[in-house]
Chain A
Amino acid sequence: MDIKLLSKEQDTLRFVLSGVKPAFANALRRIMLSEVPVMAIDDVMILENNSVMYDEILAHRLGLIPITTDLESYNLPEECTCKSELGCSKCRASLSLEIEASDPVEVVYTSHLKPENPDVRPVSDKIPIVKLAQGQRVKLEAFARLGKGRTHAKWQPVSAATYSYDEKAGTFTFLVESTGALPPERIVLEAARIIGAKSVDFQEQIGGLEKS
Chain B
Amino acid sequence: MGISVDHLWNLSKEFIRDSGLVRQHIDSYNDFVERGLQAIVNEVADLPIEIGDYPLKIKLGKIEIGAPRVIEVDGTERSIYPAEARIRNLTYSAPLHMEMIPVIGEREGQPEMVYIGDLPVMLKSKICLLSRLNPEELVAVGEDQLDPGGYFIVNGSERVIVALEDLSANRILVDTEHTGVNPTYKAKIFSTTVGFRARIEVTMKGDRAIYATMPGIPSDIPLMIMMRALGLEEDSKVAELVSVDPKVQDELESSFEKALEANNPKDALLYLGNRLAPGQVDEYRLRKAESVLDRNFLPHLGRTPADRREKALFLAEIAARIIEVKREIRTVDDKDHYANKRLKLAGSLLAELFRISFRNLTRDLKYQLERITIRRHIEFSIANAIRPGIITERVQHAIATGNWVRGRIGVTQLLDRTNFISTLSHLRRLQSPLSRSQPNLEARDLHPTHYGRLCPNETPEGSNCGLVKNLALSSSISVGIDPHEMVDRLRRMGVTTVEEADRRLRGAGGKVFVDGIIAGYTKDPAALAEELREYRRQGKISTEVNVAFHPSEKEGGRDELYVNCDAGRVRRPLLIVEDGLPRISEDHITQLEQGRVTWQDLLRMQVVELLDADEEENTLVAMYESDLRKDHTHLEIAPYAMNGIAGSLIPFPEHNQSPRNAYESAMSKQALGVFSTNFFTRVDSRSHLLHYPQAPIVDTRPMEVFNYHQRPSGQNVVVAILSFQGYNMEDAIIVNKSSVDRGLFRSTFYRIYEAESRQYLGGLRDKFEVPEAGIRGYRGDRYYRLLEEDGIISPESDVTGNTVLVGRTSPPRFLEEYREFEVRGPTKRDSSVTMRPSEQGTIDQIFITESIEGSKLVKVKVRDLRVPELGDKFASRHGQKGVIGLLVPQEDMPFTVDGVVPDVVINPHAIPSRMTIGQFVETLGGKVASQVGELMDGTSFENIGPHAISEILGKLGFQKSGRETLYNGITGEKLAADLFIGVVYYQKLHHMVADKMHARARGQVQMLTRQPTEGRARGGGLRFGEMERDCLIGHGASALLRDRLLEESDKYTAYVCEICGTLAYYDIKQNKYICRIDGEKATISPVSISYAFKLLVQELMSLGIVPRLSLEERA
Interface pair A163/B897, CB less than 8 Å apart: yes
Closest residue of chain A to B796 (Cβ to Cβ) is: A55
Chain B nearest Cβ from A47, distance in angstroms: 12
Interface pair A60/B743, CB less than 8 Å apart: yes
Chain A nearest Cβ from B1048, distance in angstroms: 41
Interface pair A162/B899, CB less than 8 Å apart: yes
Using Cβ atoms and an 8 Å threshold, which residues of chain B touch A162?
895-899, 967
Using Cβ atoms and an 8 Å threshold, which residues of chain B touch A33?
890-891
Interface pair A22/B899, CB less than 8 Å apart: no
Interface pair A22/B796, CB less than 8 Å apart: no
Using Cβ atoms and an 8 Å threshold, which residues of chain A touch B738?
149, 153, 156
Interface pair A52/B680, CB less than 8 Å apart: yes
Chain B nearest Cβ from A184, distance in angstroms: 12
B826 beta carbon closer than 8 Å to chain A: no
Q: Is the interface of A mostly helix, strand, loop or mixed?
A: mixed
Which of A24-32, A81-89, A106-114, A198-206 lies at the binding interface?
A24-32
B178 beta carbon closer than 8 Å to chain A: no
Which of B539-547, B915-923, B971-979, B1081-1089 lies at the binding interface?
B971-979
Using Cβ atoms and an 8 Å threshold, which residues of chain B touch A22?
971-974
0/1 per residue, A14-38, Cβ < 8 Å to B? 0000000011011101100110000
Interface pair B898/A26, CB less than 8 Å apart: no
A-contacting residues, B360-393, CB 8 Å: none
| Interface Cβ pair total, 8 Å cutoff | 77
Partner of B971, one of A23, A149, A156, A161: A23
Using Cβ atoms and an 8 Å threshold, which residues of chain A touch B413?
none
A101 beta carbon closer than 8 Å to chain B: no
Interface pair B896/A153, CB less than 8 Å apart: no
A186 beta carbon closer than 8 Å to chain B: no
Given contacts A34-B891, A153-B738, A156-B738, contact A26 B899 (CB under 8 A): no
Closest residue of chain B to A61 (Cβ to Cβ) is: B743
A-contacting residues, B698-746, CB 8 Å: 737-739, 741-743, 746
Interface pair A57/B691, CB less than 8 Å apart: yes
Partner of A26, one of B691, B865, B896, B972: B972
Partner of B742, one of A25, A153, A161, A164: A153
Partner of A160, one of B742, B743, B889, B899: B899
B183 beta carbon closer than 8 Å to chain A: no
B748 beta carbon closer than 8 Å to chain A: yes
Alpha-carbon gap, A54 to B737, bound state (A): 23
B228 beta carbon closer than 8 Å to chain A: no
Chain B nearest Cβ from A132, distance in angstroms: 15
Chain A nearest Cβ from B692, distance in angstroms: 10
Using Cβ atoms and an 8 Å threshold, which residues of chain B touch A25?
972
Query: How many residues belonging to B are interface residues under a CB distance threshold of 8 Å?
Result: 31
B342 beta carbon closer than 8 Å to chain A: no
Closest residue of chain A to B865 (Cβ to Cβ) is: A56
B863 beta carbon closer than 8 Å to chain A: yes
Alpha-carbon gap, A187 to B865, bound state (A): 34
Partner of A64, one of B737, B742, B895, B970: B742
Alpha-carbon gap, A162 to B897, bound state (A): 6
A137 beta carbon closer than 8 Å to chain B: no
B-contacting residues, A58-87, CB 8 Å: 60, 64
Using Cβ atoms and an 8 Å threshold, which residues of chain A touch B899?
159-162, 175, 177
Interface pair B974/A150, CB less than 8 Å apart: no
Closest residue of chain B to A46 (Cβ to Cβ) is: B796
Closest residue of chain B to A49 (Cβ to Cβ) is: B796
Alpha-carbon gap, A103 to B390, bound state (A): 53
Interface pair A54/B971, CB less than 8 Å apart: no
Closest residue of chain B to A24 (Cβ to Cβ) is: B972
B969 beta carbon closer than 8 Å to chain A: yes
Alpha-carbon gap, A56 to B898, bound state (A): 33
0/1 per residue, B884-904, Cβ < 8 Å to A? 000001110001111100000
Given contacts A23-B972, A56-B865, A153-B738, contact A64 B743 (CB under 8 A): yes
Interface pair B891/A149, CB less than 8 Å apart: yes
Partner of A54, one of B739, B748, B895, B970: B748
Alpha-carbon gap, A163 to B973, bound state (A): 11
Chain B nearest Cβ from A62, distance in angstroms: 12
Interface pair A164/B973, CB less than 8 Å apart: no
0/1 per residue, B665-684, Cβ < 8 Å to A? 00000000000000010000
Using Cβ atoms and an 8 Å threshold, which residues of chain B touch A150?
889, 891
Using Cβ atoms and an 8 Å threshold, which residues of chain A touch B967?
26, 162-163, 165
A-contacting residues, B120-140, CB 8 Å: none
Closest residue of chain B to A35 (Cβ to Cβ) is: B891
Interface pair A29/B890, CB less than 8 Å apart: no
Using Cβ atoms and an 8 Å threshold, which residues of chain A touch B691?
57
0/1 per residue, B592-626, Cβ < 8 Å to A? 00000000000000000000000000000000000
Closest residue of chain A to B898 (Cβ to Cβ) is: A162
Chain A nearest Cβ from B869, distance in angstroms: 15
A152 beta carbon closer than 8 Å to chain B: yes
Using Cβ atoms and an 8 Å threshold, which residues of chain A touch B896?
162
Chain A nearest Cβ from B957, distance in angstroms: 14
Using Cβ atoms and an 8 Å threshold, which residues of chain A touch B970?
26
Using Cβ atoms and an 8 Å threshold, which residues of chain A touch B898?
160, 162, 175
Interface pair B974/A153, CB less than 8 Å apart: no
A167 beta carbon closer than 8 Å to chain B: yes
A145 beta carbon closer than 8 Å to chain B: no
Alpha-carbon gap, A173 to B899, bound state (A): 12
Alpha-carbon gap, A175 to B972, bound state (A): 14
A154 beta carbon closer than 8 Å to chain B: yes
Closest residue of chain A to B680 (Cβ to Cβ) is: A52
Interface centre among B691, B890, B891, B973 (most CB of A within 10 A): B891
Alpha-carbon gap, A60 to B744, bound state (A): 12
Closest residue of chain B to A21 (Cβ to Cβ) is: B972
Closest residue of chain B to A23 (Cβ to Cβ) is: B972
Chain B nearest Cβ from A48, distance in angstroms: 11
Closest residue of chain A to B890 (Cβ to Cβ) is: A33
Interface pair A165/B891, CB less than 8 Å apart: no
Using Cβ atoms and an 8 Å threshold, which residues of chain B touch A167?
974
Interface pair B897/A54, CB less than 8 Å apart: no
0/1 per residue, A157-182, Cβ < 8 Å to B? 00111111101000001010100000
Using Cβ atoms and an 8 Å threshold, which residues of chain B touch A54?
748, 842, 844, 863, 865
Using Cβ atoms and an 8 Å threshold, which residues of chain B touch A57?
691, 746
Alpha-carbon gap, A164 to B967, bound state (A): 8
Interface pair B972/A156, CB less than 8 Å apart: no
Alpha-carbon gap, A165 to B975, bound state (A): 11
Interface pair B972/A152, CB less than 8 Å apart: no
Partner of A153, one of B741, B863, B897: B741
Closest residue of chain A to B897 (Cβ to Cβ) is: A164
Interface centre among B680, B863, B967, B970 (most CB of A within 10 A): B967
Alpha-carbon gap, A104 to B726, bound state (A): 53
Alpha-carbon gap, A52 to B674, bound state (A): 15
Using Cβ atoms and an 8 Å threshold, which residues of chain A touch B891?
29-30, 33-34, 149-150
Interface pair A156/B890, CB less than 8 Å apart: yes
0/1 per residue, A137-153, Cβ < 8 Å to B? 00000000000011011
Using Cβ atoms and an 8 Å threshold, which residues of chain A touch B865?
54, 56
Chain B nearest Cβ from A143, distance in angstroms: 18
Interface centre among A30, A154, A173, A175 (most CB of B within 10 A): A30
Using Cβ atoms and an 8 Å threshold, which residues of chain B touch A153?
737-739, 741-742, 890
Report, nearest first, the 4 A-B pairs whose CB atoms are least far apart.
A26-B972, A160-B899, A153-B741, A153-B738
Binding site for A on B (CB under 8 A): 680, 691, 737-739, 741-743, 746, 748, 796, 842, 844, 863, 865, 889-891, 895-899, 965, 967, 969-974
21 A–B pairs (Cβ distance < 8 Å), ordered by A: A22-B974, A23-B972, A25-B972, A26-B971, A27-B972, A30-B891, A33-B891, A34-B891, A52-B680, A54-B748, A56-B842, A57-B691, A149-B890, A153-B739, A153-B741, A159-B899, A160-B898, A162-B898, A165-B974, A175-B897, A175-B899
Binding site for B on A (CB under 8 A): 22-23, 25-27, 29-30, 33-34, 52, 54-57, 60, 64, 149-150, 152-154, 156, 159-165, 167, 173, 175, 177
Q: 5 more A-B contacts (CB under 8 A) besides A56-B842, A154-B742?
A: A23-B972, A33-B890, A54-B748, A64-B742, A163-B967
